[in-house]
Amino acid sequence: MTRQELTRLTGKSGGPQCVDDDYPNVYRHEGRSSIVVQGDVYRGFAAPDGEALVEIPESVLKEAVRALGW
């Protein structure tokens, strides 16, 4: 999956702006009907091999839900 295949749902209008894309964000992958989350690595417990845990602010997830119209 490449970044070009993703639609950014957060950090566009009305939400926190980040010029260098290092702010936590939520993306949608249309082809897979999936959600990709960018955030700080969460080290509260170990994820299974091949998976990762990230932590994002609640406000970012709410912004993504609004963008999807859910």
Identify which of 18, 6, 5, 13 has the alpha carbon closest to the alpha carbon of residue 63. 13
The predicted pLDDT at position 65 comes to: 94
DSSP letter for each residue of 26-51: EEEETTTTEEEEE-EEP-SSPPPTT-
Element (H, E) at 66: helix 58-68
Look up the domain containing 22 and give its range.
3-68
Number of domains composing the chain: 1
| Interval 31-59: pLDDT, tens | 888 999 999 999 999 999 999 999 999 99
Which pTM does this prediction carry? 0.76
